[in-house]
């Protein structure tokens, strides 16, 4: 009886499928600025059938747990004012804030990120609450005024209104479509 190395076949088949599927999904990118207007990293987003995969590579941030949310307006033009022009959380249905809130979460809620002692973050996040273009009724990031990521000075407790005790906004990145 001939034995076929199943792992090799599955790996080869899976890799070729993965590349083909990934190329068919809408993508976006983001570049982050701190409150001094300095670049502090970048990220990419890819739309999947059930949500958006977010891959972030950040640097020069204060160490510790930090809240990150999707905000409703795609601008970071006011770093000296704390990025307030990016508006509140993406929340077209008016839900309460917090991944752990029984009356939430809103569409902009994400898990906290952990900034290492050297100021860096490499993380993949996933949200089933948003979509680049509004697929399957999820909140659209690319609506008439776009969307932005905002990183806050504190961690998010995932319950307290309106932003989980996340504190001041320390970094912002406008989400841009990729062609």
Closest CA to 109 of 101, 97, 118, 119: 97
Q: What H or E segment, with its residue span, contains residue 29?
A: strand 27-34
Cis bond before residue 105 (omega within 30° of 0): yes
DSSP states of 103-164 as a string?
A: T---TTB---EEE-TTS-EEEEEEESSEESS-GGGPEESSSTT--EEEEESS---SSSTTTT
Distances from the Cα of 36 to the Cαs of 11, 32, 97, 110, 170, in angstroms? 46, 11, 28, 25, 9
Beta bridge partners of 140: 131
pLDDT in tens, 16-62: 334 334 457 899 999 999 999 999 999 999 999 999 999 999 999 99
Separation of alpha carbons 82 and 33, rounded Å? 11
Cβ neighbours around 33 below 10 Å, total: 18
The CA-atom distances, in angstroms, between 64 and each of 29, 61, 112, 125, 168 are 24, 9, 10, 17, 14
Residue 40's pLDDT is what?
98
* pLDDT score of 23: 59
- The answer to whether 76 and 86 have CB atoms below 8 angstroms apart is yes
Low-confidence residues of the chain, pLDDT below 70?
1-23, 179
Superfamily of domain 26-177: Superoxide dismutase, copper/zinc binding domain (2.60.40.200)
| Cα 81 from Cα 71, distance rounded (Å) | 16
């Amino acid at each position: 009886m001939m034995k076929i190395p199943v792992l090799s076949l599955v790996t080869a088949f899976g890799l070729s499928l993965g590349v083909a599927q990934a190329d068919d999904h809408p993508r976006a990118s983001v570049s982050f600025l701190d409150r001094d207007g300095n670049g502090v990293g970048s990220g990419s987003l890819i739309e999947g059938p059930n949500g958006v995969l977010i891959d972030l590579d950040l640097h020069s941030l204060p160490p510790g747990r930090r809240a990150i949310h999707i905000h409703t307006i795609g601008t970071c033009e006011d770093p000296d004012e704390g990025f307030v022009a990016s508006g509140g959380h993406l929340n077209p249905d008016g839900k309460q804030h917090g991944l752990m809130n029984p009356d939430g979460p809103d569409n902009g809620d994400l898990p906290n990120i952990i900034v290492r002692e050297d100021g860096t973050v490499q993380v993949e996040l996933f949200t089933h609450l948003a979509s680049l273009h509004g697929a399957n009724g999820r909140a659209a990031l690319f609506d008439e005024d776009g969307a932005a990521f905002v990183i806050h000075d504190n961690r998010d407790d995932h319950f307290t209104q309106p932003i989980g005790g996340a504190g001041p906004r320390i970094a912002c990145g406008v989400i841009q479509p990729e062609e």
